[in-house]
Amino acid sequence: MRRYGRIRWTLVLSLSCSAVAAHAATVWVGQFSAGEAGLPEPWRVQQLDERVAPTRYTLRIWDGVAAIEANADRSMALFARPLEVDLEATPHLCWLWRVDAPLVSADMRTRAGDDYAARVYLSFKVAPEALGLGTRARLALARSIYGEQVPDAALNYVWDNRQPVGTLMPNAYTDRTRMLVLRSGADDAGRWVGERRDVAEDFRRAFGSVRAQLSGLALASDTDNTGERARAGFAEFRFVGRDEVCVAPD
Protein backbone atom coordinates (compact mmCIF):
# COMPACT_ATOMS: atom_id res chain seq x y z
CA MET A 1 0.00 0.00 0.00
CA ARG A 2 2.82 2.37 0.88
CA ARG A 3 4.55 1.59 -2.39
CA TYR A 4 1.30 2.25 -4.29
CA GLY A 5 0.87 5.54 -2.42
CA ARG A 6 4.37 6.68 -3.34
CA ILE A 7 3.79 5.79 -6.99
CA ARG A 8 0.43 7.58 -6.99
CA TRP A 9 1.85 10.80 -5.54
CA THR A 10 4.85 10.64 -7.87
CA LEU A 11 2.44 10.39 -10.79
CA VAL A 12 0.30 13.28 -9.50
CA LEU A 13 3.40 15.45 -9.00
CA SER A 14 4.64 14.57 -12.47
CA LEU A 15 1.33 15.47 -14.06
CA SER A 16 1.16 18.72 -12.09
CA CYS A 17 4.64 19.72 -13.21
CA SER A 18 3.75 18.87 -16.80
CA ALA A 19 0.64 21.06 -16.57
CA VAL A 20 2.70 23.96 -15.24
CA ALA A 21 5.32 23.44 -17.96
CA ALA A 22 2.61 23.48 -20.63
CA HIS A 23 1.87 27.11 -19.76
CA ALA A 24 5.32 28.21 -18.62
CA ALA A 25 6.26 29.46 -22.09
CA THR A 26 3.47 32.04 -22.24
CA VAL A 27 4.90 35.57 -22.13
CA TRP A 28 2.19 38.18 -21.57
CA VAL A 29 2.93 41.54 -23.18
CA GLY A 30 -0.54 43.10 -23.28
CA GLN A 31 -2.93 41.86 -20.57
CA PHE A 32 -5.07 44.89 -19.84
CA SER A 33 -7.27 45.74 -16.87
CA ALA A 34 -10.04 48.32 -17.03
CA GLY A 35 -9.59 48.94 -13.30
CA GLU A 36 -6.26 50.69 -13.84
CA ALA A 37 -6.03 54.46 -13.53
CA GLY A 38 -4.93 55.91 -16.85
CA LEU A 39 -3.13 53.94 -19.52
CA PRO A 40 -1.10 50.90 -18.44
CA GLU A 41 2.68 50.86 -18.05
CA PRO A 42 4.93 50.54 -19.99
CA TRP A 43 2.64 51.54 -22.86
CA ARG A 44 2.89 55.05 -24.32
CA VAL A 45 1.06 56.98 -27.01
CA GLN A 46 3.67 57.68 -29.69
CA GLN A 47 2.82 60.59 -31.98
CA LEU A 48 4.98 60.29 -35.08
CA ASP A 49 4.04 63.63 -36.63
CA GLU A 50 2.96 66.51 -34.39
CA ARG A 51 1.13 68.10 -37.32
CA VAL A 52 -1.32 65.17 -37.27
CA ALA A 53 -3.91 64.74 -34.52
CA PRO A 54 -3.22 61.65 -32.39
CA THR A 55 -5.54 58.65 -32.30
CA ARG A 56 -7.23 58.36 -28.87
CA TYR A 57 -6.57 55.26 -26.77
CA THR A 58 -8.60 54.27 -23.70
CA LEU A 59 -9.01 51.27 -21.43
CA ARG A 60 -12.44 49.67 -21.29
CA ILE A 61 -14.41 46.45 -20.91
CA TRP A 62 -15.77 45.68 -24.36
CA ASP A 63 -18.20 42.78 -24.66
CA GLY A 64 -16.62 41.24 -21.59
CA VAL A 65 -13.03 41.73 -22.74
CA ALA A 66 -10.58 44.09 -20.99
CA ALA A 67 -9.16 45.95 -23.94
CA ILE A 68 -7.58 49.03 -25.45
CA GLU A 69 -10.08 50.97 -27.54
CA ALA A 70 -8.63 53.07 -30.38
CA ASN A 71 -10.65 55.93 -31.88
CA ALA A 72 -9.22 57.50 -35.01
CA ASP A 73 -10.61 60.67 -36.59
CA ARG A 74 -8.30 61.86 -39.37
CA SER A 75 -5.58 60.90 -36.92
CA MET A 76 -2.52 58.74 -36.36
CA ALA A 77 -0.51 57.70 -33.30
CA LEU A 78 0.86 54.40 -32.08
CA PHE A 79 0.06 52.86 -28.71
CA ALA A 80 3.45 51.31 -28.10
CA ARG A 81 5.69 49.55 -25.63
CA PRO A 82 9.29 48.28 -25.65
CA LEU A 83 9.69 44.53 -25.83
CA GLU A 84 12.28 41.84 -25.24
CA VAL A 85 11.02 38.42 -26.26
CA ASP A 86 13.07 35.38 -27.22
CA LEU A 87 11.59 34.33 -30.55
CA GLU A 88 13.50 31.07 -30.43
CA ALA A 89 11.58 30.03 -27.31
CA THR A 90 8.25 31.79 -27.91
CA PRO A 91 7.88 32.69 -31.60
CA HIS A 92 4.07 32.75 -31.80
CA LEU A 93 2.11 35.93 -31.01
CA CYS A 94 -1.55 35.56 -30.02
CA TRP A 95 -4.09 38.35 -29.55
CA LEU A 96 -7.69 39.48 -29.95
CA TRP A 97 -8.81 42.43 -32.05
CA ARG A 98 -11.91 43.92 -33.62
CA VAL A 99 -13.04 46.78 -35.83
CA ASP A 100 -16.41 48.43 -36.22
CA ALA A 101 -15.87 48.48 -39.99
CA PRO A 102 -12.99 48.52 -42.46
CA LEU A 103 -12.03 51.83 -44.00
CA VAL A 104 -13.75 52.82 -47.23
CA SER A 105 -11.13 54.60 -49.32
CA ALA A 106 -7.86 53.16 -47.98
CA ASP A 107 -5.43 51.60 -50.46
CA MET A 108 -2.24 50.16 -48.97
CA ARG A 109 -0.50 50.36 -52.36
CA THR A 110 -0.37 54.17 -52.21
CA ARG A 111 0.79 56.79 -49.73
CA ALA A 112 -2.55 58.58 -49.96
CA GLY A 113 -4.32 55.37 -48.98
CA ASP A 114 -1.90 54.10 -46.33
CA ASP A 115 -4.48 53.83 -43.51
CA TYR A 116 -5.88 50.89 -41.55
CA ALA A 117 -8.83 50.40 -39.24
CA ALA A 118 -6.52 48.27 -37.10
CA ARG A 119 -2.93 47.16 -37.20
CA VAL A 120 -0.43 45.45 -34.92
CA TYR A 121 3.10 46.74 -35.38
CA LEU A 122 6.27 44.84 -34.45
CA SER A 123 9.63 46.61 -34.56
CA PHE A 124 13.05 44.96 -34.80
CA LYS A 125 16.71 45.78 -34.30
CA VAL A 126 19.00 44.51 -37.04
CA ALA A 127 22.78 44.19 -36.85
CA PRO A 128 24.31 47.23 -38.64
CA GLU A 129 26.47 45.07 -40.89
CA ALA A 130 23.32 43.39 -42.22
CA LEU A 131 21.70 46.65 -43.31
CA GLY A 132 24.06 48.03 -45.91
CA LEU A 133 25.41 51.55 -46.23
CA GLY A 134 22.44 52.94 -48.18
CA THR A 135 19.89 51.55 -45.74
CA ARG A 136 21.79 52.90 -42.75
CA ALA A 137 21.90 56.35 -44.37
CA ARG A 138 18.15 56.32 -45.05
CA LEU A 139 17.41 55.22 -41.48
CA ALA A 140 19.63 57.96 -40.09
CA LEU A 141 17.75 60.54 -42.17
CA ALA A 142 14.37 59.20 -41.03
CA ARG A 143 15.46 59.31 -37.38
CA SER A 144 16.65 62.88 -37.76
CA ILE A 145 13.06 63.76 -38.74
CA TYR A 146 10.90 61.39 -36.70
CA GLY A 147 13.15 60.44 -33.80
CA GLU A 148 14.70 57.26 -32.49
CA GLN A 149 11.39 55.36 -32.61
CA VAL A 150 12.07 54.63 -36.30
CA PRO A 151 13.04 50.92 -36.28
CA ASP A 152 15.60 49.08 -38.37
CA ALA A 153 12.75 46.90 -39.63
CA ALA A 154 9.05 46.54 -38.87
CA LEU A 155 6.31 44.02 -39.56
CA ASN A 156 2.67 45.16 -39.57
CA TYR A 157 -0.30 42.82 -39.26
CA VAL A 158 -3.23 44.77 -40.72
CA TRP A 159 -7.00 44.68 -41.06
CA ASP A 160 -7.37 45.94 -44.62
CA ASN A 161 -10.35 46.90 -46.73
CA ARG A 162 -9.50 45.45 -50.15
CA GLN A 163 -6.34 43.33 -50.40
CA PRO A 164 -6.74 39.54 -50.01
CA VAL A 165 -5.82 37.87 -46.74
CA GLY A 166 -2.18 36.79 -46.96
CA THR A 167 -1.03 39.77 -49.01
CA LEU A 168 2.53 40.74 -48.04
CA MET A 169 4.03 43.93 -49.44
CA PRO A 170 6.33 46.83 -48.54
CA ASN A 171 4.76 49.84 -46.92
CA ALA A 172 3.97 52.66 -49.34
CA TYR A 173 6.43 54.95 -47.52
CA THR A 174 9.34 52.61 -46.78
CA ASP A 175 10.50 49.12 -47.65
CA ARG A 176 11.85 48.80 -44.09
CA THR A 177 8.25 48.15 -43.06
CA ARG A 178 6.30 45.21 -44.48
CA MET A 179 2.52 44.90 -44.35
CA LEU A 180 0.81 41.52 -43.95
CA VAL A 181 -2.98 41.35 -44.35
CA LEU A 182 -4.64 39.10 -41.75
CA ARG A 183 -8.24 40.31 -42.15
CA SER A 184 -9.87 42.05 -45.08
CA GLY A 185 -13.30 43.55 -45.50
CA ALA A 186 -16.29 43.53 -43.18
CA ASP A 187 -17.06 39.82 -42.74
CA ASP A 188 -15.51 39.70 -39.25
CA ALA A 189 -16.28 43.30 -38.24
CA GLY A 190 -18.24 44.05 -35.07
CA ARG A 191 -16.89 41.16 -32.97
CA TRP A 192 -13.73 39.93 -31.33
CA VAL A 193 -11.58 37.62 -33.43
CA GLY A 194 -8.42 35.82 -32.39
CA GLU A 195 -5.09 35.66 -34.20
CA ARG A 196 -1.98 33.51 -33.90
CA ARG A 197 1.13 34.29 -35.93
CA ASP A 198 4.60 32.78 -36.10
CA VAL A 199 6.48 36.07 -35.86
CA ALA A 200 9.87 34.52 -36.55
CA GLU A 201 8.60 32.88 -39.74
CA ASP A 202 6.70 36.00 -40.86
CA PHE A 203 9.85 38.08 -40.38
CA ARG A 204 11.84 35.62 -42.50
CA ARG A 205 9.21 35.82 -45.23
CA ALA A 206 9.32 39.61 -45.15
CA PHE A 207 13.06 40.26 -44.79
CA GLY A 208 14.87 37.00 -45.46
CA SER A 209 17.36 35.34 -43.14
CA VAL A 210 18.63 38.60 -41.59
CA ARG A 211 19.33 38.23 -37.88
CA ALA A 212 17.08 40.55 -35.90
CA GLN A 213 15.90 41.13 -32.35
CA LEU A 214 12.31 42.00 -31.54
CA SER A 215 12.32 45.39 -29.81
CA GLY A 216 8.78 46.77 -29.69
CA LEU A 217 5.06 46.19 -30.03
CA ALA A 218 2.51 48.82 -31.02
CA LEU A 219 -1.21 48.99 -31.79
CA ALA A 220 -2.82 51.52 -34.06
CA SER A 221 -5.91 52.71 -35.84
CA ASP A 222 -4.92 55.41 -38.31
CA THR A 223 -6.89 57.52 -40.75
CA ASP A 224 -4.74 60.60 -41.29
CA ASN A 225 -4.26 60.01 -45.03
CA THR A 226 -7.85 59.15 -45.94
CA GLY A 227 -9.53 61.53 -43.48
CA GLU A 228 -11.91 58.80 -42.29
CA ARG A 229 -13.02 57.67 -38.85
CA ALA A 230 -12.42 54.24 -37.33
CA ARG A 231 -12.81 52.42 -34.05
CA ALA A 232 -10.86 49.30 -33.10
CA GLY A 233 -10.15 47.16 -30.05
CA PHE A 234 -7.04 45.20 -29.02
CA ALA A 235 -6.59 42.70 -26.18
CA GLU A 236 -4.73 39.74 -24.68
CA PHE A 237 -1.34 39.90 -26.37
CA ARG A 238 1.00 37.04 -25.48
CA PHE A 239 3.86 35.05 -26.98
CA VAL A 240 3.83 31.26 -26.76
CA GLY A 241 5.96 28.36 -27.92
CA ARG A 242 5.26 26.52 -31.14
CA ASP A 243 3.54 23.67 -29.33
CA GLU A 244 1.75 25.80 -26.73
CA VAL A 245 -1.89 26.81 -26.85
CA CYS A 246 -2.99 30.43 -26.76
CA VAL A 247 -4.42 30.38 -23.24
CA ALA A 248 -6.60 33.38 -22.44
CA PRO A 249 -7.02 34.60 -18.86
CA ASP A 250 -10.02 33.33 -16.87
106 near 248, Cβ under 8 Å?
no
pLDDT of residue 209: 84
pLDDT in tens, 193-238: 999 999 999 999 999 888 888 999 999 999 999 999 999 999 999 9
pLDDT of residue 212: 86
d(CA 92, CA 168): 18
59 near 39, Cβ under 8 Å?
yes
pLDDT of residue 19: 41
Q: How confident is the model at residue 247 (pLDDT cuts 50, 70, 90)?
A: confident
For the chain, give the mean pLDDT.
Answer: 85
The closest of 87, 14, 25, 4 to 243, measured between CA atoms, is 25
With a cut of 70, say whether residue 10 has pLDDT above it: no
d(CA 67, CA 73): 19
Helical ranges in 68-112 per DSSP H: none
With a cut of 50, say whether residue 84 has pLDDT above it: yes
Mean pLDDT of 88-112: 97
224 near 75, Cβ under 8 Å?
yes
Mean pLDDT of 106-119: 97
Q: How confident is the model at residue 160 (pLDDT cuts 50, 70, 90)?
A: very high
Q: Is 124 exposed, middle or buried (0-12, 13-18, 19+ CB in 10 A)?
A: buried
- What proportion of the chain, given as a percentage, has pLDDT over 70? 79
Q: Is 195 exposed, middle or buried (0-12, 13-18, 19+ CB in 10 A)?
A: middle
The CB-based long-range contact list for 208-212 (8 Å cut-off, 24+ gap) reads 210/126, 210/127, 210/130, 210/153, 211/126, 211/127, 211/130, 212/124, 212/125, 212/126, 212/127, 212/152, 212/153
pLDDT of residue 3: 43
With a cut of 90, say whether residue 190 has pLDDT above it: yes
Domains in the chain (CATH in brackets) are: 26-240 (2.60.120.430)
**Amino acid letter for position 22:** A
